[in-house]
């Protein structure tokens, strides 16, 4: 409460970090170059259970990241944790919904991308919006990043870079949004 009103609590650094990570990851992938053709043939991860466990741990840890930013166990921390979960869950579901709406088969990897988009997008605003704002952030971020990930990626500039994890979309675009 009081610390946030005095400007001592700064949730706004999240967008800078993620935008920089998205751009840095894209530039690094461009500099390194594409994978060998034989490595690009199989695009699926080798262990989906580990992807699910890793995604769950990431989501859990992000609660501590956003909830711990006020440096106290008060209303600001509670709001940040609640908003983190709301935005992330909504972004996750919106991504799956867009998969259904566009005729794509929903997948664990796609839904994890939606989850990451929600985590990234809510971070700067976690302690400052209400629940409706958090859900709106999840819907807008997931929708815009979904379009970028699935359609903007078809442009020549993005096709020429082997961004295997889609970092420029899930971190760069979501951080910008």
The greatest distance separating any two alpha carbons of the chain, rounded to the nearest whole angstrom, comes to: 57
Q: Distance (Å, rounded) from C-alpha 91 to C-alpha 94? A: 5
- Give the pLDDT of residue 157: 75
Helical packing angle, 108-122 and 48-67, nearest 10°: 10
**pTM over cut 0.75:** yes
Q: Closest Cα to residue 64, out of 123, 151, 139?
A: 123
- Whether 6 shows a pLDDT value over 50: the answer reads no
Q: How far is CA 153 from CA 17, 148, 163, 174, in A?
A: 22, 6, 10, 15
- Give the pLDDT of residue 46: 78
Q: Is 130 helix (H, G, I), strand (E, B) or coil?
A: coil
- Give the pLDDT of residue 16: 64
In this predicted model, what pLDDT tens digit does every residue of 18-67 receive, in sequence order? 677 777 777 777 787 777 776 667 766 778 899 899 999 999 999 988 88
Q: Distance (Å, rounded) from C-alpha 140 to C-alpha 8? A: 28
In this predicted model, what pLDDT tens digit does every residue of 113-169 receive, in sequence order? 999 999 988 988 888 899 999 999 999 999 999 998 888 777 777 777 776 667 777
- Give the pLDDT of residue 36: 73
């Amino acid at each position: 409460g009081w610390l946030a009103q005095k400007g001592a609590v700064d949730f706004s650094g999240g967008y800078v970090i993620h935008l920089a990570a998205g751009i840095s990851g894209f530039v690094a992938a461009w500099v390194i170059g594409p994978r060998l053709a034989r490595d690009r043939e199989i695009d699926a991860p080798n262990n989906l259970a580990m992807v699910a466990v890793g995604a769950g741990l990431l989501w859990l840890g992000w609660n501590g990241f956003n909830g711990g930013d006020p440096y106290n166990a008060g209303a600001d921390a509670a709001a940040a944790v609640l908003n983190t979960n709301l935005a992330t869950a909504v972004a996750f579901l919106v991504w799956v919904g867009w998969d259904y709406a566009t005729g794509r088969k929903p997948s664990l990897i796609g839904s994890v991308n939606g989850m990451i988009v929600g985590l990234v997008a809510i971070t700067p605003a976690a302690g400052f919006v209400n629940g409706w704002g958090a859900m709106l952030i999840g819907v807008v971020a997931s929708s815009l990043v979904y379009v970028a990930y699935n359609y903007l990626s078809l442009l020549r500039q993005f096709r020429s870079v082997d961004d295997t994890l889609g970092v420029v979309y899930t971190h760069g675009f979501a951080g910008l949004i």
